[in-house]
Structure formats: structure tokens, C-alpha cells
Chains A and B, each alone.
Chain A
């Protein structure tokens, strides 16, 4: 029967279509995405980024409107390119290039033609924009800074890159993310959560209504404002004091661990990283490998701590009962700790130092002796070394401090493993690492760790983890910043050390740091340091270092100041620290002669020496 062919054709085609439908609609899932992609438009509603205030409620960071010039290549018509280029201050090649780029992205979709026009440029452009079809202006918020300081604390925001997008699907291309500093740590708080509106669009990309009646839409969550622990006036003052010098100031309120000041110089004004010349400026800053303005010396700079480190060595020795405050050491302009090994000291021949005078004279012999007594108390120096190491680490040194800022360094506090590694065959003892006793040698600390160390001494044995944020608009501060961390040193041992620190300022190495009406306790440091020039180790002028807290009773501020290649501690660091203390505690500085000396003092010539390629003298 020929009719059967018709049956076969009908049933056969029916089956083919059913199979095809099954594969298209049931088995394949690609088409859902494709459908959403070409018919649903996601429109984001961004909450305004949170403001940043200082500890006294001064507004430091807010937002300002900038204007992006957008282009829809398809809508372009002939226009007066000469006038247009003049308006935007670009040349014609640039214009052609940008139009090509936009066209290669999409002819129908808008893309950014010129980002972040300033208000004045926009004002001129706006009046003539009607002449240029296909161009329109989109408002966008960027950061506005009310200070030229604290850029190292605040950090900056920038457009997300593809790694950010891959890491956190929240972000879409073109959005902003906190890239550094507080902006990064508190990104989610400052950012809020964007809202999404799903819109149905047609084949011409026109929006024709809500998608699924708006059931999937979400409202934006408001961003929160931040109150920093920074005192912005003090921060600006500190930055001024450090001008023309490389160095840092870190000040902490001991009672709370709040960081009052974190200055690092050379630095940059935060508004350099906003606006049209952002990437140009950023490259200049990044490529300046001599001054390294993007390097936060307060948090990232690892230096030998120098004499301030003697304070903790004294505390460890006292706690381990290696000495008592009455213990006495004879210094003959230094001492021999081996047959030919001599450690120099600036004490006069025949000086006898106890703990108190050992601190205020900063006697190397005294601290070398008590260090040896601490380490070598046991038959095995490993045991002594590890006990010492753990005590030091309990001050927050040798590891990240855990503050709320993304940059930082660990510093280094050695333990017995370290010396076993370097001296595997021979017996090593306290004399092997004797430089540690005076803060040279293997130990490395960052200025913020030193500031935290002083704050701990000021608190007589505990510290709050330093942090930059005092208050968040709605959320509460992380628990770790509200619980004290105790050191392994008994609090009873702190008073003799503090007495010594007080005398440092009264009649010791830092008499210049005396603040009228305030009892300042401090310790100077003069840190030997080296660099390599053409592969050769060369000693540079010492770093000037000073740590202090004040007042002695009920301390309000703990400071660590260091000035690179500034020579002895009392020369730069101690005056600067005392000025910061004076400014913070009494609000106006009466020692204007000292202030002027610091403001006008410059070390730029000193920094040129190793770069000049000529032989040079140090410690002049």
C-alpha cells in the first residue's frame, strides 16, 4: 500500500520534532542564559559610598559628582570635530581612536568616551552637548578629600579588574572597589549593597517594562559612615614636622589601642588618585622607587629597633629574675665579650650603671650583660633563647599585629631554631646574638610595633590591638579590638623601667623632649644601618629613633618616631615626638623654636649621598 508512505512520513516527522524539542527544551540549559542575556537588562542602583570622619567628627572623605561623557556610536551624526576636540581638550586622532574603541565594544550600547570630567569642563560642554547626537553625560560619584594628609591610612578606590570580578561575583565591570587602606578593609561597610532592577528590553535594546513584574528586584542597602581613630589635625601636624625627611610617626592611645596618628613621609595627597589624571599620577607614584610614596613606613618599614628595644630586654630580664633593679654593671667605654670581641659604649671609663641609669644613659654594656644573663641562665642556650623570644613576641612583635589595615610586615624576632639553622655545627650562646640586646642584629620591627610596645609599657603590661576605626555607623567594632592582650611579663616589673624612661627625658639622652607641664617617658635610639651600593655593603648615617608615652600616670598617648638617616635619636625623632605629644595634650605648641627647627630641617642632602656615586662621610 502506497498510503503507508504517508503514515511513515507523518509519524516519522512527528517523532523527529519531539526529539528535537526534547533536546532544545529539556536537555539543554544554554538557552536560558542566552535568553536572559539578550532580553533582560539589569539596572543597578548604587548607594552612595560611606563618608569617613576622624575621631573628633571632622569630615575627611566625602563624595563629589563627576561627569562621564558617554557615547552610543550608532546614534552618531556628523558634527564639528574641531569644536568638539577643543571643548574636551583632546586632539583629533584621539577622538577617532576613542570612537573606534567604543564601536568595537558595541554600536548600540553606551560606553565611556571620556571619564571623570571636572565640574568646569562639564559646565562648558553641557551648553553645547545638544549639537552632538550620540553623546550624553552620566553623573558618577567619586571621592573628595578634605585633607592633604593620611592618604596611607585612607587608601584609595579604583575600578574593579577581572580578578576582583572572578573572586567576588558581586562586582560588575566598571564598578569601584576599595583598593587600599581603610577603603579596602571596610569595603563592604563603606559600599553598602547595590540594588538591582530587572528590566525587559526589546530587540532595539529599549526598555519596555519591568521583568517578571519586578518580583526579582532588590532595594539597595545604605552604606555606613566610618569614624576613624585618627586625629586628623594631629596627623597633618605630624606630616608637616616630617617634611623633607623620610620617616614615620605612629601614635596610639594606650587605653584603647586607637591609632591617633600614622604619618609616613614622603607621601602624596589623596586627591591625586581621583579624577582624570588618576592613572598618570598613580604611575608616577608607583615608579618613584627612591622616595617610595606608596610605601607606608609606619606599617611596612622593617628596621632594627635600636635602643628602644632595650626596654623589653630589661623587662624580660626582670621577669626571669636574671637581674634585680639594683643589679650593677661596670662599663669601660664598652666591654669585651670574647677574646677579641669588643662592644663599644659611649659611657665614660669606669661608669657603674644600675637599671635606671642603664636606661637613661642607654648603656650598651649594661644591656649586653643582662641579655647574657637572660639567655645563658640555663645549660642549654636554646631554652633561654626561646623563653626570651616568647616574651618579646607577647608584645606583638615578630608577627602581624592584627590591625584593620591591609598593609603591614611581620618584623622578625629570632628563636632557637633560627640560630640552630645558621650555626648547626658549633655551640651558640648569648654572645652569638649579643646585638639583639641593644636592638641591632637579627631583630626587626615596624614602627607601629614599637608604638604598640610603648603603649604596652604605658599600660603596665597589656595592649589593645591597634586599630584605625573608632566607630561604625551601625555595626559594632570587631571583638578583637575591645579585648586586652596581656604580655607574659608581670606588671610589677614595669615601674622601674618607666622610672628609667622618665629619667631619659629628665636628664638622659632626650632632654630636648621635655614638654612643659607633662611628664614624658621615652627612650631614644640611634640605629646603625647599611645598604648595598654596587654589591658592596656600605654603612649609612644612623636612623634617628624615639619612643615615648605621656603623661606618666594615666597615659594618653604613646608615640614611636623614626627618621631615616637622621643620626642620633635626640636630633630629630625625640623633638618631633615631643611636639606631637605637646600638640595632642596641650593643643598648642609653646616651643616654637623647636617646632621651626623641625619644620625647616631637611635631610634631602643626606639621602642624595648614596645615590651620588661618590664617596661620602656618614654621621656628620
Chain B
């Protein structure tokens, strides 16, 4: 790295990243605060998180040294390695709170699923950036879906449904890279139909589908109607069949805890002691923070350990309680700034690999950001995924630092010879 490189390095992005990691450290400190133990000890959550934060920042700078080309060239190798690691979990994995998602050595655990997100991003980017890839072709569509869903399906039974859901965000990358809109539309449509059916009942939903379909058919002029009639009727039929199956899937395929989570968010059940405890406690913590918050180490809900998983998935509740509206808004703005910044800089990339990689980074961050905050703020069903850079957890922090580090390398290298 020379001076010229340092100038091109995107210090703004790095500063936002640094700010988020620091905020994460402060809040992990607060949730784990005790007077009995040494906070800096590696046996302590804060000590560990500090160690991984320093390691992550070191990693980001370390990534800037190797040639930029290797990430593209070895992406398929990385991909195969990570698939092997994920499969290996079924044999060697250590079980932590019901999920067999960790390799354990010494005092540290390593969660390959987090790194799988980065590697899949690289592999997918490589596939999409190849000159003859065309997402309107079925073969390329299939290859892309395979790349995405292979790791996702291996992770799902571990069980780690949260990470699996995150892989769905790659659909957005595909969509941005000219995947026909029907895919995203039908995906969104299915979700909407699912929720409508749960809220109303299946006969009513079927009626809605039929009416909307008929209105659409009669809205078209005669020529178009004749041409599209068959596909529209097929769509309506499939949608109706889906609606009919919703109850069956909900009652028989979903487990009780999944049903409960949906019921709580949809307001079909109110239970602040049992299944709704998490969501209720997290809203109390955030809500009681007020405008300015209760102050560092002064959060009563945080101190009393009322919120389960507070340092990992529910870290934002500490921000909300101790730093109030001001602190919460700052975190949201930092996240939005980070994602927008990467999205904007995607436009100045000279080659499609780094451009598509930007999209992948944005989509992964967006999935985590929206699902995590949506859950913590009570807008989405509970899906356990961490808030990158803030949540406690070495693998997650390292993986997302790696993700961002590679982006920073590409971006700083944008004018150099490829």
C-alpha cells in the first residue's frame, strides 16, 4: 500500500464501520457489565468482543495487501471449502442452545454459516459477472439458484432458519442483474397471500384472488387478453391452490414456535408472559429509553437481564434503553449511510465483478438490518439473526468485516489494472 492507495481507500465507509463496531462494543460492555469479573478477560463477553473487534480491523487492513484478483479467482475454491465445512457440522459440530452450528477449538467457537454468506456472495458475484451469463436463460437461473440455495439448505436443518432467510436476499442481487421480474413479484406475492390468508380465511382470500384476476382480465384490451389468457388463468389457479395450502402448511409443516411468532406479530395472540415475552420485554426496554435514554450502564431492563439474547440478536434494545431515541436514530442512520454509500460507489466500479459484489454486500447488510430491527421493534416475526457489527459474536463480526474489507479493496482498486 502506498500513499496513493491510502487516498483512494474509502475512509468514509471505514469510519461508519468503525463507529458501528465501537457502538457495538459499548453496548456489549453494558449488557455484560458486572463488578465481580474483569471485563477485559477473554472469558468475558466484552473481552472477547474487544479481541474480535481488534482482529476484525486488523483483518480489514490485511485484506488490502493481496492482489485483488485472488478473490475472484479462488471464489469457487472458497465456496467448496465452506460447503465442506457446513456439511462437516453434522459430524463435528458442537451444539449450542439447540443448534449444531459451531466448530469449537479451545475457548473459541467458529460458525461457518456466517462465512458462508461472504463466500456465497463471492461465488454468486463471480457467476453473474461472467460475460456469457444471462439471467433470462433458464440454465443460468438454475445455476444461480443452486449457488444460493445449496448452503442455505445445508444450514436450514442445523437448525439455523435465520441464516437461511438471509440467503434469500441474494434474490435481490439477481433481480438487479436482470433476473425477470416475475420471480421477485411472485415471491413477494406469495408472502402477501400467505399473510392475507392467515389474517382472513382461505375462502375469502381465494375470492380476493379470483376477483383481482377477473378484473385484470377484463381490464386488458381484446388482443392482449387473448394472448395472455392462459398464463393468467394458470397464475390464478396456482395462487388459489397456494391459498388453500396455507392453512395446511401453517398447521402441519411449521412448528408451534414458528406459528406463535407469526401469531404474535399479526396480533392473533397476546401473551406477554410466554411466547410473547421476548417481544414485549424488548419493546419495554426500548420504549422506556425515552428521548435521551437512561444513560450508559443505567438501563434497568439491561441490568436485570430481562431480555433474552440481549447481547446477540437483541443488542439494539440496549441502544434503545440506554441511549434513547437519539442513540437509536444514530444507529439507523449509520446503517442506512453505510448501505447507501456502498450502493452509490457501485456506480464508479469499472468492472462488473466489483459492481455486483457491491450489490451483494448491500443486500446481505440490508437483510440483516431490516430483519433484525423489524424483529426487535416488533414489526416482524421473531427470526434470530444478529445485527452485524453491533451484536456480540466473533464469527459474525469477522465475517462481516471480511465482507466489507473485500469491498473496500475492490473500491480502492477501482482505477487500477484489473
A3–B343 contact, CB under 8 A? yes
| A120 CB–B CB distance under 8 Å | no
| A350 CB–B CB distance under 8 Å | no
**What residue of chain B has the Cβ atom nearest to residue A7's Cβ?**
B343
In the bound assembly, the distance between CA atoms of A200 and B172 in angstroms comes to 46
**What residue of chain A has the Cβ atom nearest to residue B289's Cβ?**
A25
A462 CB, nearest partner CB in chain B, Å = 62
Partner of B332, one of A18, A34, A203: A18
B178–A6 contact, CB under 8 A? no
B103 CB, nearest partner CB in chain A, Å = 31
**What residue of chain B has the Cβ atom nearest to residue A1's Cβ?**
B176
B362–A39 contact, CB under 8 A? no
B287–A25 contact, CB under 8 A? yes
B303–A3 contact, CB under 8 A? no
**Which residues of B314-343 are within 8 A (CB) of A?**
320, 324-325, 328-329, 332-333, 335-336, 339-340, 343
Which of chain A's residues have a CB closer than 8 A to the CB of B373? 13, 17
A26–B290 contact, CB under 8 A? yes
Given A16-B379, A21-B320, is A10 in contact with B339 using a C-beta cutoff of 8 Å?
Answer: yes
A200–B332 contact, CB under 8 A? no
| B306 CB–A CB distance under 8 Å | yes
Given A10-B343, A10-B362, A13-B366, is A202 in contact with B287 using a C-beta cutoff of 8 Å?
Answer: no
| B41 CB–A CB distance under 8 Å | no
Size bracket, chain A contacts? 35 or more
| A82 CB–B CB distance under 8 Å | no
In the bound assembly, the distance between CA atoms of A10 and B284 in angstroms comes to 26
B300–A6 contact, CB under 8 A? no
B303–A200 contact, CB under 8 A? yes
Given A11-B336, A17-B373, is A202 in contact with B304 using a C-beta cutoff of 8 Å?
Answer: yes
Interface residues as binary, B122-140 with A (CB distance below 8 Å gives 1, 0 otherwise)? 0000000000000000000
Interface residues as binary, A334-351 with B (CB distance below 8 Å gives 1, 0 otherwise)? 000000000000000000
A35–B172 contact, CB under 8 A? no
**Which residues of A1-28 are within 8 A (CB) of B?**
2-3, 5-7, 9-11, 13-14, 16-18, 20-22, 24-26, 28
In the bound assembly, the distance between CA atoms of A20 and B332 in angstroms comes to 12
| B175 CB–A CB distance under 8 Å | yes
B286–A21 contact, CB under 8 A? yes
**Which residues of A194-211 are within 8 A (CB) of B?**
200-203, 208-209, 211
Which of chain B's residues have a CB closer than 8 A to the CB of A34? 284, 287-288
B290–A202 contact, CB under 8 A? no
Which of chain A's residues have a CB closer than 8 A to the CB of B339? 10
Partner of B377, one of A20, A35, A201: A20
Query: Of A3, A17, A202, which is in contact with the most chain B CB atoms at under 10 Å from its CB?
Result: A17
In the bound assembly, the distance between CA atoms of A3 and B301 in angstroms comes to 41
B18 CB, nearest partner CB in chain A, Å = 20
| B95 CB–A CB distance under 8 Å | no
Given A2-B176, A5-B176, is A31 in contact with B300 using a C-beta cutoff of 8 Å?
Answer: no
| B351 CB–A CB distance under 8 Å | no
Which of chain A's residues have a CB closer than 8 A to the CB of B306? 38-39, 202-203
Which of chain A's residues have a CB closer than 8 A to the CB of B374? 13, 17
In the bound assembly, the distance between CA atoms of A24 and B378 in angstroms comes to 10
Given A10-B339, A25-B325, is A38 in contact with B362 using a C-beta cutoff of 8 Å?
Answer: no
Interface residues as binary, A33-54 with B (CB distance below 8 Å gives 1, 0 otherwise)? 0111011100000000000000
**What residue of chain B has the Cβ atom nearest to residue A10's Cβ?**
B339
Which of chain B's residues have a CB closer than 8 A to the CB of A78? none
In the bound assembly, the distance between CA atoms of A7 and B176 in angstroms comes to 11
B298–A212 contact, CB under 8 A? yes
A211 CB, nearest partner CB in chain B, Å = 7
In the bound assembly, the distance between CA atoms of A11 and B344 in angstroms comes to 13
Partner of B178, one of A2, A24, A200: A2
Given A20-B377, A25-B320, is A9 in contact with B366 using a C-beta cutoff of 8 Å?
Answer: yes
A9 CB, nearest partner CB in chain B, Å = 6
**What residue of chain A has the Cβ atom nearest to residue B302's Cβ?**
A39
**What residue of chain A has the Cβ atom nearest to residue B379's Cβ?**
A20
| B170 CB–A CB distance under 8 Å | no
| A32 CB–B CB distance under 8 Å | yes
In the bound assembly, the distance between CA atoms of A520 and B400 in angstroms comes to 105
Interface residues of chain A: helix, strand, loop or mixed (majority):
helix
In the bound assembly, the distance between CA atoms of A203 and B339 in angstroms comes to 37
In the bound assembly, the distance between CA atoms of A7 and B378 in angstroms comes to 23
A6–B329 contact, CB under 8 A? no
B366–A17 contact, CB under 8 A? no
**What residue of chain B has the Cβ atom nearest to residue A23's Cβ?**
B287
**Which residues of B285-301 are within 8 A (CB) of A?**
285-291, 298, 300-301
Which of chain A's residues have a CB closer than 8 A to the CB of B378? 20
Which of chain A's residues have a CB closer than 8 A to the CB of B320? 21, 24-25
Given A10-B366, A21-B325, A35-B284, is A40 in contact with B300 using a C-beta cutoff of 8 Å?
Answer: yes
In the bound assembly, the distance between CA atoms of A203 and B277 in angstroms comes to 11
A203–B304 contact, CB under 8 A? yes
| B359 CB–A CB distance under 8 Å | yes
A14–B332 contact, CB under 8 A? yes
B186 CB, nearest partner CB in chain A, Å = 16
| A30 CB–B CB distance under 8 Å | yes
A17–B301 contact, CB under 8 A? no
Interface residues as binary, A227-263 with B (CB distance below 8 Å gives 1, 0 otherwise)? 0000000000000000000000000000000000000
A31–B304 contact, CB under 8 A? no
In the bound assembly, the distance between CA atoms of A3 and B172 in angstroms comes to 9
Which of chain B's residues have a CB closer than 8 A to the CB of A5? 172, 175-176
Given A24-B377, A25-B324, is A17 in contact with B332 using a C-beta cutoff of 8 Å?
Answer: yes
Which of chain B's residues have a CB closer than 8 A to the CB of A11? 336, 340
**What residue of chain A has the Cβ atom nearest to residue B291's Cβ?**
A26
Which of chain B's residues have a CB closer than 8 A to the CB of A32? 287-288, 290
**What residue of chain A has the Cβ atom nearest to residue B346's Cβ?**
A3
Partner of A211, one of B176, B290, B300, B366: B300
In the bound assembly, the distance between CA atoms of A2 and B329 in angstroms comes to 28
- Which 8 residue pairs of A and B lie closest in terms of their CB atoms, listed nearest first? A31-B287, A35-B288, A39-B300, A14-B336, A202-B304, A25-B325, A31-B288, A39-B304
A interface residues (Cβ-Cβ under 8 A, vs B):
2-3, 5-7, 9-11, 13-14, 16-18, 20-22, 24-26, 28, 30-32, 34-36, 38-40, 200-203, 208-209, 211-212
9 contacts between A and B (CB under 8 A): A6-B363, A7-B343, A10-B340, A11-B340, A20-B378, A20-B379, A26-B325, A36-B288, A200-B303
* Contacts A25-B328, A208-B303 supplied; 13 other A-B pairs, CB < 8 Å: A5-B172, A6-B362, A9-B366, A10-B366, A17-B332, A21-B329, A25-B289, A25-B324, A25-B325, A39-B303, A200-B300, A200-B304, A212-B298
